[in-house]
């Protein structure tokens, strides 16, 4: 019974604040679209944190304030990391020089080859546990809705959202996320 109450509370919290959090974060980054994927991941991470902090939040006097502050804190940290990575990539490209640009078409063709995608998916599945593998397949490959996955796996929608956030986090940590997000597979 407590689990149903928790899921209901978190679902209502998500429905009430997700759009406001997204608007606030987009405003914070001056509506630069390069940060939008990052913003949605951070919002998921914030609600994942809210799930972990449920006992404290259910009696919190300003839940919205907690969510906005937690989201802004995560956004600041991720923007710093993103910019650092971007600088590192620019430096590496300068070191490599123009030879990378000359071979760009063949590199892209190699990345898009079916074998490369299969190898990449094998790496992804090695990072994920059984539940994450199933949800990865259903959500990212089969393009099923969170509600459909929740019904099929007998989990709450917030649990499925949390698993998706963990998957994205793992892929981002292992530098696999950019490959798939650039191919619009995620």
**Which of 46, 42, 47, 45 lies closest to 26, judged by CA?**
42
* pLDDT-based confidence at residue 173 (cuts at 50, 70, 90): confident
d(CA 88, CA 48): 30
H or E element that contains 79: helix 63-96
pLDDT tens digits for 111-137? 556 566 677 777 777 888 888 888 888
Residue with tokens 């949390």: 162
Residue 147: give the domain boundaries: 103-186
pTM of the model: 0.49
Are residues 91 and 46 part of one domain?
yes
Same domain, 71 and 118: no
Q: How confident is the model over 136-158, as a mean pLDDT?
A: 87
Residue 142 or residue 106, greater confidence:
142
CATH of the domain at 151: 1.10.10
More confident of the two residues 117 and 106? 117
Specify whether 57 is located in the same domain as 69. Answer: yes
Secondary structure letter of residue 33 according to DSSP: G
Which tokens in the block code for residue 117? 């995608």
Instruction: Among 73, 102, 131, give the residue marking a domain's end.
Output: 102
Which tokens is 156 given? Answer: 């709450």
Q: Alpha carbon of 145 to those of 61, 135, 164, 175: distances in Å?
A: 33, 10, 12, 25
Are residues 109 and 54 located together in one domain of the fold? no
Any idea what the CATH number is for the domain that residue 67 is in? 1.10.1740
């Amino acid at each position: 019974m407590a689990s149903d109450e928790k899921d209901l509370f978190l679902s209502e919290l998500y429905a009430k604040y997700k759009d406001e959090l997204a608007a606030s974060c987009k405003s914070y980054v001056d509506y630069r679209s390069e940060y939008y994927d990052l913003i949605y991941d951070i919002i998921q991470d914030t609600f994942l944190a809210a799930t972990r902090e449920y006992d404290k939040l259910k009696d919190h006097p300003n839940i919205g304030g907690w969510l906005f502050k937690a989201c802004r804190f995560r956004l600041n940290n991720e923007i710093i990391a993103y910019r650092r990575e971007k600088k590192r990539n620019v430096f590496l490209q300068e070191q490599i020089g123009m030879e990378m640009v000359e071979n760009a078409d063949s590199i892209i063709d190699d990345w898009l080859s079916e074998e490369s995608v299969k190898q990449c998916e094998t790496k992804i599945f090695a990072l994920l546990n059984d539940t994450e593998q199933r949800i990865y397949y259903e959500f990212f490959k089969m393009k099923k809705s969170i509600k459909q996955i929740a019904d099929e796996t007998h989990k709450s929608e917030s649990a499925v959202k949390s698993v998706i956030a963990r998957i994205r986090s793992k892929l981002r940590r292992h530098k696999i996320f950019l490959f798939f997000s650039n191919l619009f597979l995620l």
